[in-house]
């Protein structure tokens, strides 16, 4: 039973696994969002720049109409004709292609962030295997894709029907308009129809992205055993790390205790806290806390102080403030200067030394 629970994938993917998947380009995203955003951006471009675009088309049609009088296509003029047609097509379509590319890129960045992964571009012959293609077509993901396609088609057809039905009064006026008026009305009807369909597709694409993200999170879940193995692989064995931390604490404790015989005074609580201070006016801008501790560590500090003749001064408020505010090796804060100076002056008078000057 415990083994089954260890193998059951119930935990979300770890940060390490997420980074590895992201490097391979395996991230949750929806291609529908890229396509719909690109479509709406191009639609807005064509609507706002309809007059210049139609003017360009009119000039192209006029030029090609005049070109009818030119000689028929031959080997001699084929190259120039193809070049001219290509340049004309490029001149008409480059704004549309640029806006579509930028919109798709922005939509992709909003989904997955800035990501450059080469693995999805590698040649994989399994993708073009017809048998695997048929297998994917009749699999559960394939059926889900089919249902989504039917849903999108039905939604777009319904939205298009409702949009055209609401525009019937404008359509009925077309026979009574001149060519310019007909173009304006048809453009307005087509724009509203495309916007309504685009918004419906954007809603469906957003839902598709949410579903794909949920599905990705579900598929990338990890078992307890996988989490432990990955933690060991990246962070090391917890038992070993615990031993290392224990050794580090012991070394730090030894270094701290070695500083106690070099201190000038030990300030105590008097039972629970002990703080050892050191001050040399020639080398230090302020007294340093060279050792501190509570309970058993405080007793060890006081024992070392007694053994080496270091004065022990009982001052509970000052001992507590120094213990809480200053790390080992840190200078005392300015607000405690006066209290510490009084203690050091008292200690130096007991020893017959010049205040704030270490003995030579």
- State residue 62's pLDDT score: 62
Q: Is the pLDDT of residue 341 over 50?
A: yes
**Cβ-proximal residues to 231 (8 Å cutoff; 6+ apart), any chain:** 14, 238
- State residue 108's pLDDT score: 83
For the residues of 157-226, what is the DSSP string, one character each?
HHHHHHHHHHTHHHHHTGGGS-HHHHHHHHHHHHHHHHHHHHHHHHHHHHHHHHHHHHHHHHHT-EEHHH
Q: Is the pLDDT of residue 126 over 60?
A: no
**Mean predicted confidence (pLDDT) in 56-72:** 60
Instruction: With cut-offs at 50, 70 and 90, classify the pLDDT of residue 4.
Output: very low
Q: Is the pLDDT of residue 51 over 50?
A: yes
Q: Where are the alpha helices (DSSP H) in 49-129?
A: 50-66, 75-112
Q: Where are the alpha helices (DSSP H) in 220-263?
A: 224-235, 238-259
pLDDT over 90, % of the chain: 2
For the ranges 14-23, 101-110, 126-135, 234-243, which has the lowest average pLDDT? 126-135
- State residue 113's pLDDT score: 74
Q: What angle do CA 95, 98, 100 make, to 5 degrees?
A: 105
Q: Are 318 and 339 in contact (CB under 8 A)?
A: yes
- State residue 125's pLDDT score: 53
Q: Where in the chain is the domain with CATH 3.40.1690.10?
A: 257-351
- State residue 60's pLDDT score: 64
Query: Tens of pLDDT along 138-168?
Result: 566 667 777 878 888 888 888 888 888 887 7
Q: Is the pLDDT of residue 105 over 70?
A: yes
Four-residue CA torsion sign, 321, 326, 328, 334? negative
Question: Which range has highest mean pLDDT (59-63, 238-242, 255-259, 264-268)?
Answer: 264-268
**Mean predicted confidence (pLDDT) in 61-83:** 60
More confident residue, 6 or 52: 52
- State residue 2's pLDDT score: 44
- State residue 28's pLDDT score: 84
**Mean predicted confidence (pLDDT) in 83-90:** 72
Q: Are 209 and 111 in contact (CB under 8 A)?
A: yes
Residue 34's nearest CA partner among 104, 94, 114 is 104
For the residues of 98-109, what is the DSSP string, one character each?
HHHHHHHHHHHH
Q: Is the pLDDT of residue 82 over 80?
A: no
- State residue 17's pLDDT score: 82
- State residue 251's pLDDT score: 85
- State residue 123's pLDDT score: 59
Q: Is the pLDDT of residue 212 over 80?
A: yes
- State residue 119's pLDDT score: 57
- State residue 355's pLDDT score: 47
pTM as predicted: 0.53
**Mean predicted confidence (pLDDT) in 186-206:** 86
Query: Tens of pLDDT along 266-295?
Result: 999 877 899 999 888 888 888 989 888 888
- State residue 1's pLDDT score: 43
257-351 under CATH 3.40.1690.10, yes or no: yes
- State residue 358's pLDDT score: 41
Average pLDDT value over all residues in the chain: 78
The continuous run of DSSP H or E covering 350 comes out as helix 337-351
Q: Is the pLDDT of residue 225 over 50?
A: yes
């Amino acid at each position: 039973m415990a083994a089954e629970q260890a193998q059951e994938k119930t935990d979300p993917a770890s940060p390490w696994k997420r980074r590895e998947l992201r490097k391979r380009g395996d991230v949750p995203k929806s291609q529908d969002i890229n396509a719909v955003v690109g479509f709406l951006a191009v639609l807005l471009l064509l609507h706002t720049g309809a007059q210049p675009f139609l003017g360009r088309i009119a000039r192209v049609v006029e030029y090609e109409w005049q070109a009818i009088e030119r000689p028929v296509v031959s080997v001699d003029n084929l190259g120039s004709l193809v070049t001219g047609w290509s340049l004309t097509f490029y001149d008409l379509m480059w704004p549309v292609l640029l806006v579509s590319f930028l919109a798709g890129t922005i939509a992709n960045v909003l989904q997955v962030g800035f990501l450059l992964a080469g693995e999805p571009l590698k040649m994989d012959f399994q993708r073009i295997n017809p048998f695997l293609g048929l297998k994917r077509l009749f699999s559960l993901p394939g059926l889900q894709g089919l249902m989504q396609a039917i849903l999108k088609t039905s939604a777009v057809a319904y939205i298009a029907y409702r949009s055209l039905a609401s525009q019937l009064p404008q359509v009925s006026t077309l026979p009574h308009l001149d060519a310019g008026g007909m173009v304006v009305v048809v453009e307005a009807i087509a724009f509203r129809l495309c916007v309504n369909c685009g918004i419906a597709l954007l809603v469906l694409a957003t839902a598709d992205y949410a579903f794909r993200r949920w599905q990705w999170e579900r598929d990338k879940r990890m078992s307890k055993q996988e989490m432990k193995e990955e933690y060991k692989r990246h962070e090391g064995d917890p038992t070993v790390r615990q031993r290392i931390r224990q050794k580090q604490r012991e070394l730090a404790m030894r270094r701290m205790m070695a500083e106690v015989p070099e201190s000038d005074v030990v300030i105590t609580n008097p039972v629970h806290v002990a703080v050892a201070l050191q001050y040399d006016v020639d080398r230090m801008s302020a007294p340093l806390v060279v050792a501190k501790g509570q309970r058993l560590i405080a007793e060890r500090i006081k024992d070392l102080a007694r053994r080496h003749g270091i004065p022990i001064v009982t001052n509970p408020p000052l001992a507590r403030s120094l213990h809480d505010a200053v790390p080992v090796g840190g200078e005392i804060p300015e607000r405690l200067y006066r209290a510490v100076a009084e203690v050091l002056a008292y200690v130096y008078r007991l020893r017959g030394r010049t205040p704030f000057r270490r003995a030579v």
